[in-house]
């Protein structure tokens, strides 16, 4: 008993699978010279050919399953892994999504050329049916590529955001056992966490006993920003370092008073120079006390 209308479709997928199996080597050789697979070169062209073979075999498996439009088909999983490396390389090279999509389209064109070469053997009708299914298969492949590249771009954006946050919160060693963190821009929870982590690491690395948090470049101070600063000060104290907050401008001082924020337990100074003078004087005082104690 046959399935009637589904027979032509099955014949078309079988023809596509057969083409990819028979012509796998030719497809791989053609693809290896295309921009998308040239991205995998590290030593020789053979590496690109091997990568092409892996994708051809996986596409043949998808065709054999008959699930040409199903991104969850088993054969697409190894393709995704291979494409992730290639699209990542193309994205780092500065190519846009549309440019990478055109490179994937070139893979389809190479396979279609080989299909047309078999028209005499397959017949016009079977060739047309196979062509439809081959186009469908590569359309699904393009969707897989776009999804993979979107995910890769998202990961790149997250990494770059993390790097920018870290670059925007440097910890500077000003003197022996004295470090400073010049803050510029708005403070949100994510950035405040990085400030705290970087400061605590610097306190351990430099054996710092005093840390200056300079907020001259912070445009506004609200209750959330003040809360983050207090947490940072408290964490530094637990590590054995005293904190002083500098850059308290008149407008910020008025805002703190209006919000009813209590910074009485925190040492504050109007400018970074004042904070540095306080820190050096405090450090000298400790040194003199230690000398008197030894004598």
Phi-psi region of 249 (alpha: psi -120 to 50; beta: other; left: phi over 0): beta
Structural domain spans, the chain? 6-162, 172-294
Strand partners, 217: 184
Contact 183, 217 (CB under 8 A): yes
Render pLDDT for 157-190 as a digit per residue (tens, 0 to 9). Answer: 777 776 666 566 788 998 899 999 998 888 777 7
Per-residue model confidence (pLDDT) at position 207: 93
Question: For the domain 6-162, what is the CATH code?
Answer: 1.10.490.10
Please indicate whether the domains covering 6-162 and 172-294 agree at the CATH topology level: no
Per-residue model confidence (pLDDT) at position 294: 40
Dihedral over Cα of 149, 150, 155, 157: its sign: positive
Q: What is the DSSP string of 231-280?
A: HHHHHHHHTT-EEEEE---HHHHHHHHHTT---TTSEEESSHHHHHHHHH
- Residues (pLDDT < 50) of the chain are 1-5, 287-295
Render pLDDT for 110-123 as a digit per residue (tens, 0 to 9). Answer: 888 888 888 777 77
- pTM given for the model: 0.54
Tokens of 36: 């998308």
Per-residue model confidence (pLDDT) at position 210: 94
Closest CA to 136 of 63, 30, 58: 63
**What superfamily does domain 172-294 belong to in CATH?**
STAS domain (3.30.750.24)
Per-residue model confidence (pLDDT) at position 45: 83
Per-residue model confidence (pLDDT) at position 4: 40
């Amino acid at each position: 008993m046959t399935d009637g209308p589904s027979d032509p479709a099955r014949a078309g997928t079988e023809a596509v699978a057969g083409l990819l199996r028979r012509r796998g080597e030719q497809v791989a050789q053609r693809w290896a010279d295309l921009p998308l697979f040239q991205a995998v070169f590290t030593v020789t062209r053979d590496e690109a050919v091997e990568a092409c073979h892996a994708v051809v075999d996986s596409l043949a498996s998808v065709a054999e399953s008959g699930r040409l439009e199903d991104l969850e088909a088993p054969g697409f999983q190894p393709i995704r892994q291979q494409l992730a490396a290639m699209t990542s390389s193309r994205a780092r090279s500065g190519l846009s999504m549309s440019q990478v999509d055109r490179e994937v389209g070139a893979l389809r064109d190479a396979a279609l050329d080989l299909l047309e070469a078999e028209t005499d053997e397959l017949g016009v009708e079977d060739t047309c049916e196979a062509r439809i299914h081959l186009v469908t298969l590569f359309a699904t492949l393009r969707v897989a590529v776009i999804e993979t590249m979107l995910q890769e771009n998202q990961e790149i954006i997250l990494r770059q955001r993390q790097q920018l946050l870290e670059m925007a919160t440097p910890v500077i060693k000003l003197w022996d056992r004295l470090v400073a963190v010049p803050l510029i821009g708005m403070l949100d929870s994510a950035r405040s966490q990085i400030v705290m982590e970087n400061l605590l690491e610097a306190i351990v690395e430099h054996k710092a006993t005093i840390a200056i948090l300079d907020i001259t470049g912070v445009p506004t101070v609200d209750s959330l920003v003040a809360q983050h600063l207090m947490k940072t000060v408290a964490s530094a104290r637990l590590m054995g370092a005293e904190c002083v907050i500098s850059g308290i401008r008149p407008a910020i001082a008025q805002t703190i008073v209006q919000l009813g924020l209590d910074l009485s337990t925190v040492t504050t100074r109007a400018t970074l120079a004042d904070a540095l003078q306080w820190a050096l004087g405090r450090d000298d005082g400790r040194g003199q006390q230690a000398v008197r104690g030894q004598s």
